[in-house]
Amino acid sequence: MKVMLMLLVVWSFVLLAPGSSASKGSDGRQKMSTMTEAEWDASDQARDARYQLDRALDAVGVRPGMVVGEVGAGAGYVVFKLSARVGPSGKVYAEDIVAKFLDMLATRARHRGLVNIETVLGTPDDAKLPAATFDLIFMHATIQFIDNRVAMFNSLSRSLKPGGKIVVVETANDEYFPVFREAGFKVTRLDDAVVPPFAVYILSR
């Protein structure tokens, strides 16, 4: 069991590592969809030890009462952080295109007593999030899996409130800028020291 946990944790790092291919990542996501709740808990702890994602949430100002979402939520690593920050007066929408991930996320949220999370089954080019609803929408280690990126970001644009923003936390890649701009966004890139080895892009209209 310990060996399996270590292999799964190592694989999760491969998915997030700079240079990981989309095809390798897609295979990895399918393998990860069979992980148990205990294995996900161990993976989350290992990611916390290696990365400092909370620093990105600090930098963009996630606050109590906000309505936020995550695209490519997986089994809830970022969603649970968002849930704690927006509190009972806020709400988190967790989107993924893999139903097994959302089932596991819902189970984990229930076991943690979290009632401000709603899951959404999206499609490869449309997150299916409610319109004009969100203060912030997050995307972490997900853009590499999206084929029609402009269509996806157009769908997210429709879901933002006036003044709402999209926060993309990914391995730095200049090819993302034309995508963001074609979808009608202005782009701000935070200092890369915020969450190494990732870049943080803030998209606004």
Using an 8 Å Cβ cutoff, are 98 and 111 in contact?
A: no
Report the alpha-carbon distance of residue 143 to residue 156 in Å, rounded.
13
Report the alpha-carbon distance of residue 157 to residue 167 in Å, rounded.
12
> CB atoms < 10 A from the CB of 64, how many?
11
Q: Give the type of residue at 11.
A: W
Which residue in 102, 106, 164, 84 sits closest to 131, CA to CA?
A: 164
Report how far apart, in Å, the C-alpha atoms of 74 and of each of 69, 98, 109, 178, 193 are. Answer: 12, 8, 13, 26, 25
Report the alpha-carbon distance of residue 48 to residue 43 in Å, rounded.
9
Task: Specify the pTM.
Answer: 0.85
What are the tens digits of pLDDT across the range 165-202? 999 999 999 899 999 999 999 999 999 999 999 999 99
Using an 8 Å Cβ cutoff, are 56 and 77 in contact?
A: no
pLDDT surpasses 50 at 45 = yes
What are the tens digits of pLDDT across the range 8-27? 443 344 344 433 334 444 55
Residue 123: the pLDDT is: 97
